[in-house]
Structure 1
Amino acid sequence: MMQDRRSFLALGAASVAAASVGLPALTAGPAAAAGPAATHEAFVMGYFTESPTMLGARYALHLAVSPDGLNWTPLNDNNPVATPTAGTGGLRDPFILRRQDGTFVVLATDLTGTDFGQRNQYIHAWDSADLRSFTGYRRLRLHDRPTHTWAPEAFWDPERGQYGIFYSANFDGVDSFFVNYTPDFVTVSGPQPFFAPGYPVLDGTLHHTATAHYLYYKHMGNGRLYGARSSTLRPRSFDAGTYTGGVIQGGIEAPIVQRANDRDQWYLWGDSYAPVNGRLHLWTSGDITGDHWTEVDRFAYTQPLNAKHATTCPLTAAEHAALLDHWGTPTWHRVRSYNHPDRFLRHAGFAARLDAYPFDPYPDAQWRLVAGLADPAGVSFESVNYPGHFLRHQNLDVVLAERDGSATFAADATFHRQPGLADAGWASFRSVNYPDHYLRHAEYLLRIDPLGAASPATDRRDATFQLTY
């Protein structure tokens, strides 16, 4: 059951109102990781990228930031910020942990491409003071078995006074989670079973509250995501602790559990691999101790372009601002439909249309918003992969065409942006030379039509869009 989209937008807006009280929780211990004392004001997401035909495959660390944890801005133009130089030369499944001293460590699977039959005992590791530079690159060998070492995550274990690195591997014919302990992410202990419930599991992630630890994972036997809990972080303490039913049936992996900035509202991200590869899904719950996850309407969240198997970590407002300042925001936008929020404006065969994300060539949906060709107070949409080509209307249909220098072309390609006809928080685009006509979709094709406040609600929704990344 989808929750009301406006309520989620209100929750997202409210999440940036919390006052800063210093760094986010520096420990994975329960007392320091939950409640008002752990106030933070933003998030960073780490990920690698893939697209349906692998045009967008980049097996390196990418970053995005968000003030509310729902809508994300890719950094560095959605290009990598760190790339492995050893092992396979690529990474998957990155994980970002804030260490006890307030700095960060980044871990990742040592794997490039999709050859999941590779046997590799190593993971990648970097240190970072601020996620603006990455130092001390190294690989950590976690075992000597002829198996994989996938989706590493880490936590601070106050009982041991060390960090635990846990990951997916298959030591005895069953995929389980194993753990190695380390004081510094340089020297590591030998492996031991961490979660072995008696059936194959994949992609574990930990979340901590004041009263318990929560381990979410994929059950490989039935394809569902589950949650287990324990009062300790000791190896095997989660084995009998599963307390949820399956959150989703099949096609989802790589869970992330994320608490909202300022309240007891949890989000569960999942990465789809079937039937659509490359789409992040989201569920929410007001009580992580219960089994009450509700799917979030796609209207309420976005994902970084081509993001796969992500990780999120809390930030302060100052850290959020510093990352935007250092890496910069993208030089392009995507344009999302209001009433079909899984569809984005693209060109295909030089026609402008809406298609469901993800698709290739993905640059068909990237637009540089430039000052209006006929009126600098307006906006024109220039194609990223066809520079010098702009959206224009011809006989009311919208097409991609090369600029010819004429005044008619300039006027046809210029729109005035205004608050959305269906939702003032979104945007609508009014034609400069047909000022009662608005950019809208009809049967997923773009055109301009006469619209206004008195137009049918369906038409106003067709003419409302979100500028996103």
Structure 2
Amino acid sequence: MRLPSLTLLVSTWAWACCALVIDTASLGLDNNQIAQRADPSLAGYLGVFFLGADPYVYFYLSNGNNPISFKALNKGSPIFKPTKGTGGVRDPTIVPGGGSEAGKKWYIIGTDLNIGKTTWDAAQRTGSKGIFVWESTDLINWVNERLVIVEDNTAGMVWAPEAIWDPAKGQYLVHWASKFYSSSDPSHTGTPSSTKIRYAYTSDFRTFSTPQTYIDRSPTNIIDLTILPLNNSSSSSYLRFMKDESLKTVFVETSTTGLFGSWTRVGGASAIIESGVEGPAAYWDNTIPGKVHLLLDFYGSDGYRPYESTTPERNSGGWTASSRTGWPTGLRHGSVLPVDGTVWERLNARWG
């Protein structure tokens, strides 16, 4: 999700001065935590995206088990379009069910924004306070569209929502980016706060806990958070990728102490994966242990481009641009879900 703003050099200086450069070994990450995800039961990948000026949900299916070669489903037409809110959805992310819903339910959530009907300034001041939700029990039929309000009236917007099952809580942790205005400024004409990452918990994507702040790097603006579990669903180790909107860069942090533990930016506060990008989307390789794929949205150019790494906790020097021979152009901020052979065949039969 693009958020136009001025570069805040002072924030970068302050952040860098207080950060430590820490080697990967000091994080306590062993081979079992990184080299773990390859799974012979997984036979492909489902990509969920929006396309530039078309703020709808599009599905792309991998060509076999190739993680960086995809074809459009439904003859390139949207799988569905929102009927509520602004009538547009950006940043769609697919959320696999957790707990008792694991393997039985999936959700797609996204930003309620059709930029063709507004401006970027208005979208940040008086934008939607809700997130779109759809749900499915088979990844084919998507039902129960809803627009759920998650922030109060002091928020200027709710952008790029994502969710992850938190085994420590037994609920889904849902997070998004918002900036806030004074309660004495109901029209939001004044100066807002920096953009922060907010979160709430839910069991059903209908009712949510009171939102709280998850990441606040003021005066730096932080948006487009995505979290990738390490090892397995019960592990306390995670990678989280996000965009420094002030400098237009994407970087990764690592925690071995849970979603609310201590996070480390390997390489220090100035270490990045790439600049001029947004909307990071990370997913494990199905066949190569320890390999992670990362999509970065070159929003001023051709959209998503794939990267890969076997040291995904690293920033500078840790990632390599993948081949784009089979990669479609124009894909924008979304997500990728590894799927088994039965699901791949079902998706291909329905929309291939």
TM-score between the two structures when normalised by the length of structure 1: 0.58
The residue aligned with 1:256 is 281
> 1:96 is matched by which residue type in structure 2?
I
Residue correspondences, number: 286
Match of 2:240 among 215, 230, 234: 215
Quote the offset at 1:143 in angstroms: 0.8
Q: Distance in 1 between matches of 2:162 and 2:48?
A: 12
Are positions 1:58 and 2:54 aligned together? yes
Q: Distance in 2 between matches of 1:253 and 1:65?
A: 22
Gaps of 5+ in 1: 1-29, 51-56, 329-469
1:213-362 to structure 2, matched below 5 A, reads: 213-235=238-260, 237=261, 240-244=263-267, 245-249=271-275, 251-262=276-287, 263-274=289-300, 276=301, 278-291=302-315, 292-303=317-328, 305-328=329-352
The residue aligned with 1:442 is none
> Are the aligned partners of 1:283 and 1:293 in contact in 2 as well (CA < 8 Å)?
no
Task: Name the SS of the counterpart of 1:319 in structure 2.
Answer: helix
Output the aligned Cα RMSD.
2.2
Are positions 1:135 and 2:146 aligned together? no
Structure 1 residues 259 and 234: CA distance shift in structure 2, 3 A: closer
The residue aligned with 1:157 is 166
Which protein has the larger Cα radius of gyration, Structure 1 or Structure 2?
1
Gaps of 5+ in 2: 1-31, 181-191
Task: Name the SS of the counterpart of 1:217 in structure 2.
Answer: strand
Q: Distance in 2 between matches of 1:213 and 1:280?
A: 23
> 1:175 is matched by which residue type in structure 2?
T
1:369-388 to structure 2, matched below 5 A, reads: none
The residue aligned with 1:68 is 66
The residue aligned with 1:27 is none
> Are the aligned partners of 2:46 and 2:338 in contact in 1 as well (CA < 8 Å)?
yes
> Are the aligned partners of 2:174 and 2:199 in contact in 1 as well (CA < 8 Å)?
yes
Q: Distance in 1 between matches of 2:249 and 2:46?
A: 26
Q: Distance in 2 between matches of 1:213 and 1:294?
A: 17
> 2:212 is matched by which residue type in structure 1?
Q
1:403-442 to structure 2, matched below 5 A, reads: none
Are positions 1:200 and 2:196 aligned together? no
Are positions 1:168 and 2:177 aligned together? yes
> Are the aligned partners of 2:37 and 2:286 in contact in 1 as well (CA < 8 Å)?
no
Task: Name the SS of the counterpart of 1:41 in structure 2.
Answer: strand
> 2:303 is matched by which residue type in structure 1?
R
> 1:120 is matched by which residue type in structure 2?
S
Q: Distance in 2 between matches of 1:286 and 1:182?
A: 33
> Are the aligned partners of 1:132 and 1:327 in contact in 2 as well (CA < 8 Å)?
no
Structure 1 residues 185 and 233: CA distance shift in structure 2, 3 A: farther
The residue aligned with 2:205 is 185
Q: Distance in 1 between matches of 2:41 and 2:244?
A: 32
> Are the aligned partners of 2:304 and 2:330 in contact in 1 as well (CA < 8 Å)?
no
Task: Name the SS of the counterpart of 1:188 in structure 2.
Answer: coil
Deviations 1:192-212 (A, max 9, x none): 011223421111111011261
TM-score between the two structures when normalised by the length of structure 2: 0.76
Q: Distance in 1 between matches of 2:244 and 2:41?
A: 32
> Are the aligned partners of 2:161 and 2:174 in contact in 1 as well (CA < 8 Å)?
yes
Task: Name the SS of the counterpart of 1:187 in structure 2.
Answer: coil
> Are the aligned partners of 2:226 and 2:242 in contact in 1 as well (CA < 8 Å)?
yes
- Over the matched positions of the two proteins, sequence identity in percent amounts to 23
Q: Distance in 2 between matches of 1:96 and 1:59?
A: 16
Structure 1 residues 315 and 37: CA distance shift in structure 2, 3 A: closer
The residue aligned with 1:377 is none
Structure 1 residues 264 and 135: CA distance shift in structure 2, 3 A: same
Q: Distance in 2 between matches of 1:39 and 1:242?
A: 33
Moved more, 89-98 or 281-290: 281-290
